[in-house]
Amino acid sequence: MKILLIVHRYIPYNTGGTEIYTSVVANELSKYHDVYILTRITDPRLRNYSFIDSTEGTVSVRRINKITADHPQLIDRFTDRRIEDIFRDYVESVLPDLVHVQHLAGLSMNIINTTKEVYKIPVLFTVHDFYLFCLNGQFYPLTKDEICPAYLFGKCDECLISDIDNKPSTQEIEDCKSLVKSVMNQVDKFIFPSEFLLNFFEKKGIQTTKLFFLPNGYRTSNFIYRHKNYNNNSHLVFGFFGRINHTKGIELLLKAFSKVKLSNIKLKIYGTTDRHYHDYLSTWSDDRITFLGAYNNTDVNALFDYIDVLIVPSIWHENSPLVIHEAILSGVPVIASKAGGITELLENPANGVLFSLGNTDELAALITEFGKNPERLNFYKPNLQKIFPIEQHVRNLNVVYDEFRGINSLRNNQNHCP
Position with higher pLDDT, 245 vs 416:
245
**Judgement on whether residues 370 and 401 belong to the same structural domain of the protein:** no
Task: Give residue 153's pLDDT band: very low, low, confident or very high (50, 70, 90).
Answer: very low
pLDDT digits (tens, 9 = 90+) for 327-371: 999 999 999 999 889 999 998 999 999 999 989 999 999 999 999
Rounded-to-integer distance, Cα 350 and Cα 418, Å = 56
State pLDDT tens for residues 213-254: 999 998 999 999 999 999 999 999 999 998 888 889 999 999
- Residues 171, 240: one domain? no
Structure confidence by residue, pLDDT tens digits, 21-50: 999 999 999 999 999 999 999 999 999 999
Of 200 and 285, the structure prediction assigns the larger pLDDT to 200
Q: Tally the domains of the chain.
A: 2
Give the separation between CA 312 and CA 328, rounded to whole angstroms.
13
Q: How far apart are CA 369 and CA 262, in angstroms?
A: 11
Q: Do residues 322 and 405 both lie within one domain?
A: no
CATH number, domain containing residue 155 = 3.40.50.2000
Looking at residue 167, the DSSP 8-state letter turns out to be: P
Query: Are 174 and 250 within one domain?
Result: no
The Cβ of residue 159 has, within 10 Å, a number of other Cβ atoms equal to 17
Q: Identify the DSSP state of 232.
A: T
Same domain, 54 and 197: yes
Q: Which helix (H) or strand (E) holds 33?
A: none
Helix, strand, coil abundance in the chain, percent, nearest 5: 35, 20, 45
- Distance (Å, whole) CA 405 – CA 115: 16
Same domain, yes or no, for 207 and 249?
no
Q: What is the mean pLDDT of residues 11-28?
A: 92
**Are residues 147 and 284 located together in one domain of the fold?**
no
Q: DSSP of 319-352, one letter per residue? A: S--HHHHHHHHTT--EEEEE-TTHHHHT-STTSE
Q: Within this chain, do residues 247 and 199 fall inside the same structural domain, yes or no?
A: no
Q: How far is C-alpha 417 from the geometric centre of its chain's CA atoms? A: 33
Determine contact, residues 330/223, Cβ cutoff 8 Å: yes
> Based on the domain organization, do 191 and 299 belong to the same domain?
no
Average pLDDT, the chain: 88
Q: Look at strands 51-56 and 59-65 and give their pairing.
A: antiparallel
Short-list 363, 334, 366, CA closest to 348 = 334
CA distance 8 to 106: 6
344: buried, middle or exposed (CB in 10 Å: 19+, 13-18, 0-12)? Answer: middle
Domain span holding position 407: 2-219+389-416
d(CA 99, CA 415): 19
Range picked from 102-106, 128-132, 403-407 for highest mean pLDDT: 102-106
**245 and 314 share one domain:** yes
Region 366-389 average pLDDT: 93
Q: Average of pLDDT values for 52-74?
A: 87
- Between 177 and 41, where is the model more confident? 41
pLDDT (tens digit, 9 = 90+) per residue, 135-148? 677 776 555 556 66
Q: How far apart are CA 63 and CA 98, in angstroms?
A: 19
69 and 77 in contact (C-beta within 8 Å)? no
Is-contact 7 19, C-beta < 8 A? yes
Share of the chain above pLDDT 70, in %: 89
Do 147 and 295 fall within a single domain? no
Q: Are residues 31 and 176 in the same domain?
A: yes
